[in-house]
Chains A and B, each alone.
Chain A
Amino acid sequence: MHGRLKVRTSAEEAARKKKEQEIKVKTYRAGMGRIFEKRKNGQLDDEMMQITGQILSRNPDVYTLWNIRKECILKMAESLGNEAKQSLYDKDLGFTEQCLMVNPKSYGAWHHRCWILENCPTPDWEREVALCNKYLKLDERNFHCWDYRRFVVKKAKVPAEDELKYCTEKIHKNFSNYSSWHYRSKLLPLLFPHETSPARPISESKLKEELEMVLTAAFTDPNDSSAWFYQRWLLGYSQPALDIAAIRISKNLAIASFSKPIDLRTCEIETNFGFNFNPDRWQPVQKGNKYDVAWIVEDSFELGASDLQQYIFKCRMSDGKDYAINLKKCSDGFYGMKCPKFEYEFGAAVIEELKNQLESCNQLLEYEPDSKWTLLTASLLMRAIDRRGYHTKSLEYLQKLEKIDYLRQGYYADLASKWAIEKVLEEWIEQGDLTVAIDLSNLNLATIFYEQYMSIAKIVILRNNCLSDRTATKFNAFQFCENLDASYNQFSTPGVIPHIPNLKVLSLEGNKFSNNATTRLEDQMKNL
């Protein structure tokens, strides 16, 4: 009396799946065939839209088909009035949304949407913002949608305040969200510019709040790297600002070095002491580089001709801004140097917040003395609060980290090298005397930073560190160096030390060269 349940057997199910798959493949091939045939015949018509639509709605990542659709739409729109045109575009907007439902991370579909909105007669940007809201609600980490959002928000003229609010909501919902933190770092400088310094991205009071928020995230889930990146940005650990680093001009050699790699051949240089530099004559210190931190001209310069109050070297760089440096006269020419900006200098209120945060970290270290991210945060905070005062302690933390977080040993070693060099370099620049050696010996250096600032130095001592072949190229910057002490390091390949024109003394003992290589090196040194 009961009916019986009939369910497909597994064999039937498999056969059905196979059949379905076969039909799909056939449809795809047939569809593609038809599309290319039609395209060859110039039939960019409604049917073309339908066939491409069928394939794209199942697989929205066939980029060629999106392009064909564009061709189709442009052709079909030619003969239409504005209203009809708009409805044609609107229909395709609807279609892209259908594709996004299949794959919300389809590059093709998002790009096509941008294209439609830029080409249609009356784009509705507000609707696009709403669409972003919808998709970010489904997945707040969909970076395609965040990118698209930035595009449409600009067009829809959504106030940055609203966007910041939105961004904050998303972070409160789930803070492991690179896109959202990143967007924040773009919005805050617009809304809360720094009170005085244009180089600083956001105001002190906002910075204080942001630091608090990001530390909360970091404490909640230290394994989430997105918050750390944002914290770095807040503390100013991003790329240094573009500036001149050092200049030196002697009778037959001039060097200009910069905080970041640039292409000096595209810059305009101006001096008030009659030196004209032909852009084409500049050479990067590392041969073949298009961008480099240090550039040289080998030429003969007429020194001592002028006698001015100030010697100014000015450079208009690719950002269109002028950067200038005052040069001093010395026995064999001119030189000038700037101290690099290591970190931001914060106001009292922010320092107060940083101190609180440091206090929290230290408190936590009592419970978890080996917590790696707490150690790292604490050392970063110490640097931000008082770089010199905490110098030893912050390096101690890094050393500890090298031990307990073995996998990132190289990272910590590099960071420690950077900080150690900063201290020496800063003191050397403050002295401002070219004849004094830059003494970087015994610092456990794993690599060299700020080599461009050392490009004008006469004596560089790197004795007893852990430098290896990978850092040797940095020596290219030491164009004015006469005495380079690289003894007791880890160099092993004889040819790795580059040619330095002015070098008179090179010490390489205590490295890891083979006997054979040592002999050859000795020969090389005799030639100096």
Chain B
Amino acid sequence: MDEDLPTEFDLVVVGTGFVESIVAAAASRIGKTVLHIDPNDFYGGTWASFNLDALQSFISSIAESPATDESKQFNSIKNASQIWHVTTPTATPADDAIPEGQEATEKIWTKENVLKEFRRFNVDLSPKLLFSCGKLVKLLISSNICRYAEFRAVDHVCTIINGQTRSVPCSRTDVFNTKDLSIVEKRLLMKLLTSCMGYDEHPEEFKDYEDKTFLEYLKSVKLTDNIIHCVLYSISMSNEQTSLKDGIDNTKKFLNSLGRYGNTPFLFPMYGCGEIPQCFCRLCAVFGGIYCLKRSVSNVSIADAKVDSIKCGNQDIKASNIVVGHGNILPDFSIPAGGTGVGKKCGGISRAIYITSSPLGAEELNSSGGGVNFLKLTDESGTGAFVLQLSHYSGTCPKGLYLIHISCSAKSNNPEADIKPYLDKLLTTDHPPAILYSIYFTIDACLRCTSGASITNDSLSNVFVCCGPSFELDYDESIDNAEGIFKKIYPEDEFLPRAPDPEEIVIGDEDPVSVADDVITLDSVKEQIMELEAGLLHQEDCMEENSRNEEMAMEVGEE
């Protein structure tokens, strides 16, 4: 019963991941005809969110197929495994892990009753946070796509100090309220943050440390270890090797995003990050883009060093340009050149997802059921890990359960081993989470990033490949990737100009200058206006009217 698709497009986009969806939206927005397809029956590809049922079958399908199977759609995710830590209905969830003082009436979670709630889950393959003043927030606002989605301000930025999970004071209010810092420390912290913000105006303050690390600078301004820990690891998300300049830039980025939406600088999309690509898809559709899931490209025909048409189902579809997402690259495409300006490789991420029955950290970090908490963990040498804990308030899990996401750079083909040092840190805190279920997998780099320098075939000048998720907290690199591709295809056009508000749009044969008639609603006032107009017209003839008008004018003048 499926309708046939139109057979000619300015742009065909394969894959509904974040980068692909932005390119699709941007093209559609400037009036290009866009066909946006995805071989999967869901939106988002490597950026998708799943309910628990779908997640389990997705992970199983990857775990069961051999890693070298090029034919499967998800060659971007590998090394997947999942395990339930609770099985029988009588088992209590990890007894020893439940800290004292927990409510006795707490629900006992079994595999069955977790699964019963599967629809309440929206589990992200690639969870991320948005800086309130970051690139994505700015793009969503400038393009007016922000109206499609809702966000939750992240509740706490946490850190682990001496085995205790603590909230990092980010805002002035936090600094005022925290019991973890003495008043002198409070002053020193505030002062440090202020001077970081003024880095550009007063670079002389930092002159002696230009070639040194951020840590060396922090030590030089006589900060206590407590503060150094918070600033270095949590606020600037740096490590011991980070340079002064980078440390300060990161700190500024953090601080600039404060005070906009909540008590921390971060936002998390309600119902998971999988919503974000869909928002761009909707914009694409609103401007005429055509959407079709469960369609893949089975063949391409090449002419004049370009892809001329693609075979989609049993239709041949002509396309001026083709954009292909992470995980959707067909062997036939070869690997196009067309560097998209991203220096860093995408992918290379080890992921862990835990469903837990108790949260990380004490009650004050999880008041009234918890919100969204973020924790940056470091390790001695590497880039550390992002830990995100989500409660039901984020729309991603049922009440009483928590999702903990850990992402770190992949060091091996064993994501569990990569994640373990970080998990151990969480499990050895004063309030460790009680884990019911865990998933591990690796997000691979896209084929273009993997092949790196070996990319030689630049014959297909109208095919562009999107990267997958990068190991970054926000979406900056991915947005650059999308904008780079757009600019390559449409160098003259504006990238996602503001979409009009509904009020600005003229529909049908409406008079474009018409004014909503609820400006005046009272008949007696309408009558008066008519009288007033008449009065003004016949001012000279009508003394009485005239005097009344004067009276009114006086009133207006008084105002």
Contacts and interface: CB of A to CB of B under 8 A. Distances in A.
Given A27-B520, A51-B524, A175 B176 contact: yes
B551 interface: yes
Given A5-B500, A6-B506, A360-B183, A27 B529 contact: yes
Contact of A33 (B187, B507, B520, B548): B548
A50 B506 contact: no
Contacts, number: 124
B504 A7 contact: yes
Contacts of B202: none
A47 B524 contact: yes
B506 A364 contact: no
A216 interface: yes
Contact of A220 (B175, B524, B525): B175
Interface string A26-48: 11111111101100000000010
B222 interface: yes
A32 B520 CA distance: 14
Nearest to A38: B524
B156 interface: no
B225 interface: no
A134 interface: no
Contact of B288 (A3, A15, A360): A3
Interface string B175-199: 1110000111011101100000000
Interface string A218-240: 01111000000000000000000
B537 interface: no
A215 B532 CA distance: 63
A28 B555 CA distance: 10
B222 A367 contact: yes
B184 A364 contact: yes
Given A29-B532, A36-B551, A368-B191, A16 B522 contact: no
Interface in A136-192: 172-175
A173 B173 contact: yes
A114 interface: no
Interface stretch (A17-25, A397-405, A409-417, A470-478): A17-25
B186 A219 contact: yes
Contacts of B33: 2
A376 to B, nearest CB: 14
B556 A23 contact: no
Contacts of B173: 172-175
B512 interface: yes
A24 to B, nearest CB: 7
A217 interface: yes
B287 A5 contact: yes
B522 A54 contact: yes
Interface string A191-230: 0000000000000000000000001110111100000000
B542 interface: no
A266 interface: no
B507 A6 contact: yes
A36 B513 CA distance: 33
A287 interface: no
A33 B535 CA distance: 12
A1 interface: yes
Contacts of A220: 172, 175-176, 186-187, 190
A29 B552 CA distance: 6
Contacts of A32: 552, 555-556
Given A27-B525, A47-B524, A16 B513 contact: yes
A29 B515 contact: no
Contacts of B191: 368
Nearest to B182: A360
Nearest to A15: B513
Interface string B536-559: 000000000000110111011001
A319 B444 CA distance: 82
Contact of A51 (B222, B287, B522, B532): B522
A364 B187 contact: yes
Given A8-B506, A30-B528, A221-B190, A215 B287 contact: no
Interface string B510-537: 0011111001111011001101110000
B514 to A, nearest CB: 8
Interface in B390-427: none
A502 interface: no
A177 to B, nearest CB: 11
B6 interface: yes
A449 B27 CA distance: 76
Nearest to B263: A173
Contacts of B555: 32-33, 36, 64
A6 B176 contact: no
A363 interface: yes
Interface string A62-87: 10100000000000000000000000
Given A26-B529, A33-B552, A8 B188 contact: no
Contact of B528 (A7, A33, A222): A33
A126 interface: no
B505 interface: yes
Contacts of A523: none
Contact of B524 (A2, A34, A174): A34
Interface in A339-364: 360, 363-364
Contact of A34 (B6, B177, B188, B525): B525
B176 A7 contact: no
Interface in B475-531: 500, 504-507, 512-516, 519-522, 524-525, 528-529, 531
Interface in B139-184: 172-173, 175-177, 182-184
Contacts of A216: 176, 183, 186
A2 B551 contact: no
Contact of B176 (A3, A51, A217): A217
B539 to A, nearest CB: 14
A173 B555 CA distance: 43
Interface in B279-335: 287-288
A22 B309 CA distance: 56
A3 B286 CA distance: 11
A219 to B, nearest CB: 4
Contact of B184 (A27, A173, A175, A219): A219
Contacts of A64: 555
B288 to A, nearest CB: 4
Contacts of B183: 215-216, 219, 360
A231 to B, nearest CB: 13
Contact of B548 (A5, A19, A23, A37): A37
Contact of B559 (A3, A62, A363): A62
A509 to B, nearest CB: 49
A37 to B, nearest CB: 7
B548 A51 contact: no
A307 interface: no
Contact of A219 (B187, B514, B531, B549): B187
B520 A23 contact: yes
A13 interface: yes
A28 B556 contact: yes
A7 B520 contact: no
A27 B176 contact: no
Contacts of A9: 512
Interface in A91-138: none
Given A7-B504, A173-B173, A367 B525 contact: no
26 contacts: A5-B500, A8-B505, A8-B506, A8-B512, A20-B519, A23-B515, A23-B520, A27-B525, A28-B556, A29-B553, A30-B529, A31-B525, A33-B532, A33-B555, A34-B525, A34-B528, A51-B522, A54-B521, A62-B559, A172-B173, A216-B183, A219-B187, A220-B175, A220-B176, A360-B184, A368-B191
Interface of A: 1-3, 5-9, 12-13, 15-16, 19-20, 23-24, 26-34, 36-37, 47, 50-51, 54, 62, 64, 172-175, 215-217, 219-222, 360, 363-364, 367-368
Given A8-B506, A20-B516, 13 more contacts: A6-B506, A8-B513, A12-B512, A16-B513, A29-B552, A32-B556, A33-B551, A51-B522, A54-B521, A172-B176, A219-B184, A219-B187, A220-B186
